């Protein structure tokens, strides 16, 4: 396959990273993952806006502007002749002798990008998934999409070893998000999700689903809620670039209501899928 390396295109085998890259040594970098349908990137502008914000928060200067980056990603998709799948890219602060503080003289950051082909809907689970509650032990800037994902990795592995598909994280009983997704509940017809602050990543899919809810006239509350509220919810679902809107029907040994996808969840997923179909047809 073809990969993006800074401003050039290489084969996967040619793509080599320096052992003193700060991304490798400190996780000092940022990333984005986008969905590609019919060769086109979905919700591109929102992803680029979030990338620019992540860069600002880490005081990282992008190697070139996001318009040029979007053009390169487009070329990457075409070079790989990919119709459906993902584009992943990351930008690290660059390679230099290992010291925690930023390099005194500016160095070039390192951008790498690749694609992964999937069928259009292989990551969707309309029948719902099983989740497990896991302690959120991450740092306090979960709003930045950084390469430092150890807290997420450990939680995800924990859930997997407990036979669950995803970890739902909580801080002292307050549900924050999933290890790879945002979490929503429905109670008495109202959609509830954690506010977009430093405790969660403001998912692009989260933003999109809130917009869909608005369009469908579903009341929304962006507020914190407890694990108890989660367990007593009428419906629960997760959102991410990969899974769109996926019902959560079981949490550890507890069924979410009757263990079937809820009505509002299904309405949102249907509306989401319609928008994707329209995007594909455009």
Q: Does residue 241 belong to the site contacting ligand PMP (CB under 6 A)?
A: yes
In the list 80, 90, 112, 152, the residue contacting ligand PMP (rule: CB under 6 A) is 152
Q: Does residue 166 belong to the site contacting ligand PMP (CB under 6 A)?
A: no
In the list 30, 91, 111, 201, the residue contacting ligand PMP (rule: CB under 6 A) is 201
DSSP state of 230: H
CA pair distance 9, 214, nearest whole angstrom: 41
CA pair distance 239, 82, nearest whole angstrom: 24
Q: Does residue 177 belong to the site contacting ligand PMP (CB under 6 A)?
A: yes
The answer to whether 159 and 134 are in contact (CB under 8 A) is yes
CA pair distance 111, 259, nearest whole angstrom: 43
Q: Does residue 95 belong to the site contacting ligand PMP (CB under 6 A)?
A: no
Task: Please state the closest distance from residue 42 (CB atom) to ligand PMP, in A.
Answer: 11
**145 classed as catalytic:** yes
Q: Which residue is nearest to ligand PMP (CB)?
A: 203
Q: Does residue 203 belong to the site contacting ligand PMP (CB under 6 A)?
A: yes
- Identify which range of 55-63, 67-75, 174-182, 214-222 contacts ligand PMP by CB under 6 A: 174-182
Q: Which of 163, 174, 171, 177 is nearest to 131 (CA)?
A: 163
Task: Please state the closest distance from residue 244 (CB atom) to ligand PMP, in A.
Answer: 9
The answer to whether 176 and 141 are in contact (CB under 8 A) is no
Q: Which 3 state secondary structure label does DSSP give 235? A: strand
DSSP state of 146: B
Q: Does residue 206 belong to the site contacting ligand PMP (CB under 6 A)?
A: yes
Task: Please state the closest distance from residue 73 (CB atom) to ligand PMP, in A.
Answer: 15
Query: Which of 145, 162, 187, 260 is the catalytic position?
Result: 145
Structure tokens at 172: 């002292």
CA pair distance 150, 152, nearest whole angstrom: 5
In the list 132, 182, 193, 246, the residue contacting ligand PMP (rule: CB under 6 A) is 182
Give φ, ψ of 135 to 5 degrees.
Answer: -60, 135
The catalytic residues are 145
Residues that bind ligand PMP (CB under 6 A): 33, 152, 177, 180-182, 201, 203-206, 239-241
């Amino acid at each position: 396959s073809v990969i993006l390396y800074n401003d050039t295109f290489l084969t996967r085998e040619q793509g080599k990273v320096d052992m003193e890259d700060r991304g490798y040594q400190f996780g000092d970098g940022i990333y984005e993952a986008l969905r590609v349908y019919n060769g086109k990137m979905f919700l591109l502008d929102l992803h680029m806006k979030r990338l620019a914000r992540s860069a600002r928060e880490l005081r990282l200067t992008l190697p070139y502007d996001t318009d040029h980056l979007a053009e390169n990603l487009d070329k990457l998709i075409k070079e790989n002749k990919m119709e459906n799948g993902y584009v992943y890219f990351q930008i690290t602060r660059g390679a230099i002798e290992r010291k925690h503080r930023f390099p005194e003289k500016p160095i070039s950051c390192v951008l790498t990008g690749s694609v992964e082909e999937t069928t259009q809907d292989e990551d969707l689970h309309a029948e719902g998934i099983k989740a497990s509650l896991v302690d959120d032990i991450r740092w306090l800037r979960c709003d930045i999409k950084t390469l430092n994902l150890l807290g997420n990795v450990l939680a995800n592995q924990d859930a997997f070893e407990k036979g669950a598909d995803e970890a739902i994280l909580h801080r002292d009983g307050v549900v924050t998000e999933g290890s790879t997704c945002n979490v929503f509940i429905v109670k008495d017809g109202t959609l509830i999700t954690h506010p977009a602050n430093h405790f969660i990543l403001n998912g692009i899919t989260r933003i999109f689903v809130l917009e869909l809810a608005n369009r469908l006239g579903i009341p929304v509350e962006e507020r914190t809620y407890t694990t108890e509220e989660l367990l007593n919810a009428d419906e629960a679902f997760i959102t991410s670039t990969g899974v769109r809107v996926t019902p959560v029907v079981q949490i550890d040994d507890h069924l979410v209501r009757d263990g079937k996808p809820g009505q509002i969840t299904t309405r949102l997923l249907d509306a989401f899928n319609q928008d994707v179909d329209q995007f594909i047809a455009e």
